[in-house]
Amino acid sequence: MEYLEDNLGRDTIRTDVPAETAPRKDDPNDKLIGVLLEGRYLIERKLGQGGFGAVYLASDQKMISRKVVVKVLRDDETQNEWSARKFKHEIEALTRINHPNIVGVFDSGVTENGQPYIVMQYVNGIPLRALITPEGMQFQQAAKIIGQMGRALSAAHECGILHRDLKPENVMLENLIGDDEQVKIIDFGVARVKDSLVSSGSTKDLAVGTVAY
């Protein structure tokens, strides 16, 4: 149950404000801030810290400084077989799925000190959690969100991917033109990947997810 405790305690990754005004979570001892990965992705600031990884805002220097999100496996987790395997599964899951309601993946690699990372789409929006109030939501809005989530999960399941940690914090609502909203499901960090090409799956899996969900 150790992972469940870590998962419950992790920070929510907020991308609900423009990158230029997003609150900084920079650690002066964080050696990745200011690093240029593969001569392309400039790490600007930390967005959140998870049970076995950290997420950063970065700019893609080869795409006119397009904002991207870089998820990096924590240095002390690189030798943990389970954590390393799940990180590879997340990369595989995101590369298998091509759906407008699931966050896109652009690239992956390894830092100079051996930490695997994933480069993903930056979602300019708010987490679903921010819209849930004691009074509830408008039926029409809720139905639209649930419909998009259902289509995204169906696409993932058809690709042999089970998210296993679906909750309001992992559902982003991207701001579109005309006040429209598009669901983006994020964080496939504990996903199960059927017939994985990057892992034999021989390592015993652990209980994962968030207890309340």
* Domain harbouring 85, CATH code: 1.10.510.10
pLDDT by residue for the chain (213 residues), tens digit each?
Answer: 222 333 333 333 444 434 443 444 556 678 899 999 999 999 999 998 877 789 999 999 999 989 999 999 988 888 888 888 889 999 999 999 999 999 999 999 999 999 999 999 999 999 999 999 999 899 999 999 999 999 999 999 999 999 999 999 999 999 887 778 899 999 998 899 999 887 655 445 555 667 666
Specify whether the CB–CB gap between 3 and 206 falls below 8 A: yes
- With respect to residue 109, please indicate whether it lies within any of the assigned structural domains: yes
CA atoms in the 13 A half-sphere facing the CB of 85: 15
Domain count, the chain: 1
- With respect to residue 10, please indicate whether it lies within any of the assigned structural domains: no
Residues 6+ apart with CB under 8 A from 36: 42, 43, 61
DSSP states along 176-199: -TTS-EEEEE---TT-EETT-SS-
Specify whether the CB–CB gap between 102 and 120 falls below 8 A: no
CA–CA gap between residue 66 and residue 141 (Å, rounded): 30
Specify whether the CB–CB gap between 189 and 82 falls below 8 A: no
Question: Residue 46 sits in which domain range?
Answer: 35-185
- With respect to residue 140, please indicate whether it lies within any of the assigned structural domains: yes
Token digits of residue 11: 């920070």
Please give the pLDDT value at position 8: 32
- With respect to residue 1, please indicate whether it lies within any of the assigned structural domains: no
CA–CA gap between residue 95 and residue 152 (Å, rounded): 14
Residues carrying an active site annotation: 165
- With respect to residue 208, please indicate whether it lies within any of the assigned structural domains: no
- With respect to residue 172, please indicate whether it lies within any of the assigned structural domains: yes
Q: 213: exposed, middle or buried (C-beta count within 10 Å: 0-12, 13-18, 19+)? A: exposed
- With respect to residue 114, please indicate whether it lies within any of the assigned structural domains: yes
Radius of gyration of the chain (CA): 17
CA–CA gap between residue 25 and residue 32 (Å, rounded): 13
- With respect to residue 213, please indicate whether it lies within any of the assigned structural domains: no
Beta strands in 90-170 (DSSP E): 105-110, 116-121, 125-127, 161-162
Please give the pLDDT value at position 209: 65
